[in-house]
Amino acid sequence: MFDFGNLVLNENMKIYRRARVWIMWGLMVLAVAAVSGIAYSSSANPPSMWQMVAIEMIVMMPLVSIFAVIVAADIVAGEFTAGTIKLLLIRPWSRSKILLSKYAATLLFGFFSMALLYAALLLVNIIFFGYEKGIKAAEVFGAADPAMSAWSYFNQSFFMQFISLIVTVTLAFMISSVFRSGALAIGLSLFVVLMGKTLGQLFGLIDRKWVDYVLFQHLDLTRYIGMGSSGANGGMTLGFSLAVLAGYYVIFMALSWFVFTRRDVAA
Amino acid sequence: METSAIVQFRNVTKKIGGKTIIDGLTLDLPRGEVFGFLGPNGSGKTTTIRMMVGLMRMTEGEIRIGGASIATDYEKAIRHVGAIVEKPEMYKYLTGYQNLLHFARMIPGVGRNRIDEVIRLAGLDKRIHDKVKTYSLGMRQRLGVAQALLHKPSLLILDEPTNGLDPAGIRELRDYLRKLAEEEGITVFVSSHLLSEMELMCDQVAIIQAGKLIDIRSLRSGDGSQEAVPVPVQFELDRPDEALAVIRRSIRPAGDDGGREIRASVREGLLVIDALREDIAELNALLVKEGIRVYGIRSKAKSLEDQFLEVTGGESVV
């Protein structure tokens, strides 16, 4: 058939023609610059570049998740709330393809946000503190493996967090598709993102086998980085975590598609 | 499967939670007409339109548009259709032009030229690069019609298009829709609960009540169906009783030679006679010749409202 790319182009237009995305991204870059700038000017002995990168990564990563989740939660539900879904669906495209274009645009937004944070962290801190070579991950990120470089940890960390982001965003996308209310979708998804870690720890207290399969236990993949030769972390491996995430991913996708392609569009 | 009907409803039924919303609707929409879909609020008009454009599934039955089934061959069937379902809800944070570009991208063969063309058709040239949130309702309505016409559909579906428009806007839309049907051969399917609107706009009207199709009426004179029926005509005269006598005297009552029965009476000072169009002129000539002053003649053809109330039994209307 004709060009699917046009659908993604449309979804992108609807994301990036709104001020909110630029405000979110602007805030993100500004926050990185501000934190580094304050650390640079106010401290008697300024921190090293990688120290700042490590701190800011921990602070800013949830912000990226929050932004991506807001976009994901709004992309389907927002059209229902505004009523534009009716005009969108009565085109010579199946509902699956329209949903897929929305999902692709959502992932792209997550990717761009990550890339922007990645670039901002490196650039801002190199400008303020200069690039430091030969720093070990053990010094700044607290990795167990003494041989791993900070640069390598940084890259792996972004990769792992991108995987978690995909799962989180897919969850928000599913909520968006199932509940069809922008406010509810954003609220629920943010709750999951913000409470995820705490809930994970809470579940960790329960001594039952099923706890190992709870989503929140596996959203932080960075703990598997730089473990050296120890191999396992709290009895779990990266492979196991990825398998559990994949399982949830399939469920989220199936539910999104099932509901969106089958339900009547009323109201 | 080429037929003269652009849309075919066959026994279309919709049940939601055991409640029957649409009950066995069977209807053909002829090409190139403005077809009205009239019913009181809650009678199932919007549900029917949602099923036509695939926003809702039907429980039973089939809808074919241009020969393609909306349930099994959706992408083909929907290409014939341009529609506004309920309010013309566009992306408010985009400009009018970006909205049109958005929908143009979803259909092959709709280029920038065609976008400019529909902008001119809709008369939005001056404001097209402003954000839609700054548009008035009338402008949004026009933008809605513009997006519906982008791909030159053979069927235009408008759900309550006159809702919220001022009289000038309504008139403008009405003329525009008639023009589309007459000049471009587009079938226009309009739903409304406003009887008077439908009367001015439509060639035919289907009346629906409580999910059931109860009547189809032709509204255009000239197709012969209404011409042969005498309608009550009011004569405003100086001496109505005398006039009645004159008429009784002058016109032969129904007899063996095929003359018609005269149904004439005087009501509230007016002479009311059932007459055909041609008879009115002759009656007038007769009265004038007899020296009776004629102040006014009014044909009391039943308005759609009367017909509507008649067929729906006057219950729960409008």
Q: Say whether both B41 and B101 belong to one domain.
A: yes
Q: Taking a C-beta distance cutoff of 8 angstroms, is the pair B284, B306 a contact?
A: no
pLDDT for B146-187, tens place per residue? Answer: 999 998 899 999 988 877 778 887 888 888 888 888 888 899
d(CA A89, CA A263): 12
Task: Please state the domain count of chain B.
Answer: 2
Q: Say whether both B194 and B236 belong to one domain.
A: no
Q: Say whether both B116 and B85 belong to one domain.
A: yes
Interface check for B50 against chain A (CB to CB < 8 A): the answer is: yes
Interface check for B19 against chain A (CB to CB < 8 A): the answer is: no
Report chain A residues whose CB lies below 8 A from the CB of B156. Answer: none
Q: Say whether both B11 and B56 belong to one domain.
A: yes
The CATH number of whichever domain residue B178 belongs to comes to 3.40.50.300
Nearest-Cα distance to chain B for A111, in Å, is 23
Q: Say whether both B38 and B71 belong to one domain.
A: yes
Report the pLDDT value the prediction gives residue B106, as an integer from 0 to 100: 92
Q: Say whether both B132 and B274 belong to one domain.
A: no
pLDDT for A76-87, tens place per residue? Answer: 999 999 999 999
The DSSP 8-state label assigned to residue B134 in this structure reads: G
Q: Looking at the domain assignment, is residue B314 inside a domain?
A: no
Nearest to B24 by CA among B33, B32, B16, B15: B15
Q: Looking at the domain assignment, is residue B307 inside a domain?
A: no
Report ipTM for this prediction.
0.86
pLDDT for B261-313, tens place per residue? Answer: 667 788 787 888 887 777 788 888 888 888 888 888 887 766 666 666 666 66
Nearest-Cα distance to chain B for A56, in Å, is 33
Query: A265–B102: do the CB atoms touch at under 8 Å?
Result: no
Q: Looking at the domain assignment, is residue B305 inside a domain?
A: no
Which of B84, B105, B151 would you mutate first to test chain A, the one with the most A CBs within 10 A?
B105
Burial class of residue A90 in the structure, from the number of CB atoms within 10 Å of its CB (0-12 exposed, 13-18 middle, 19+ buried): buried
Report the pLDDT value the prediction gives residue A232, as an integer from 0 to 100: 52
Q: Say whether both B213 and B269 belong to one domain.
A: no
Interface check for B92 against chain A (CB to CB < 8 A): the answer is: yes
Q: Looking at the domain assignment, is residue B238 inside a domain?
A: yes
Report the pLDDT value the prediction gives residue A223, as an integer from 0 to 100: 83
Interface check for B133 against chain A (CB to CB < 8 A): the answer is: no
Q: What is the mean pLDDT of residues B76-95?
A: 91
Could you tell me the residue range of the domain that residue B242 belongs to?
231-299
The CATH number of whichever domain residue B235 belongs to comes to 3.30.70
Interface check for A94 against chain B (CB to CB < 8 A): the answer is: yes
Number of helices and strands in chain A (H, E): 9, 0
pLDDT for B191-242, tens place per residue? Answer: 988 777 788 888 899 989 888 898 888 876 544 444 456 777 888 888 888 8
Report chain B residues whose CB lies below 8 A from the CB of A266. Answer: 50, 55-56
Q: Looking at the domain assignment, is residue B309 inside a domain?
A: no
Q: Say whether both B144 and B34 belong to one domain.
A: yes
The backbone torsions φ and ψ at residue A97, rounded to the nearest 5 degrees and listed phi first, read -70, -35
Q: Say whether both B35 and B170 belong to one domain.
A: yes
| Packed helices A238-262 and A95-129: angle between N→C axes, nearest 10 degrees | 140
Regions of chain A with pLDDT less than 50: 1
Report the pLDDT value the prediction gives residue B222, as an integer from 0 to 100: 47
Query: A82–B50: do the CB atoms touch at under 8 Å?
Result: no
Q: Say whether both B199 and B253 belong to one domain.
A: no
Report the pLDDT value the prediction gives residue A233, as an integer from 0 to 100: 54
d(CA A241, CA A224): 10
Nearest chain B residue (CA) to A92? B75
Query: B90–A84: do the CB atoms touch at under 8 Å?
Result: yes
Nearest chain B residue (CA) to A262? B57
Report the pLDDT value the prediction gives residue A236, as an integer from 0 to 100: 78
Q: Say whether both B143 and B57 belong to one domain.
A: yes
Report the pLDDT value the prediction gives residue A2, as an integer from 0 to 100: 54
Report the pLDDT value the prediction gives residue B317, as an integer from 0 to 100: 40
Q: Looking at the domain assignment, is residue B100 inside a domain?
A: yes
d(CA A28, CA A22): 10
Q: Say whether both B199 and B102 belong to one domain.
A: yes
Q: In the listed set B218, B243, B275, which residue is the last one of a domain according to the structure?
A: B218
Nearest-Cα distance to chain B for A139, in Å, is 48
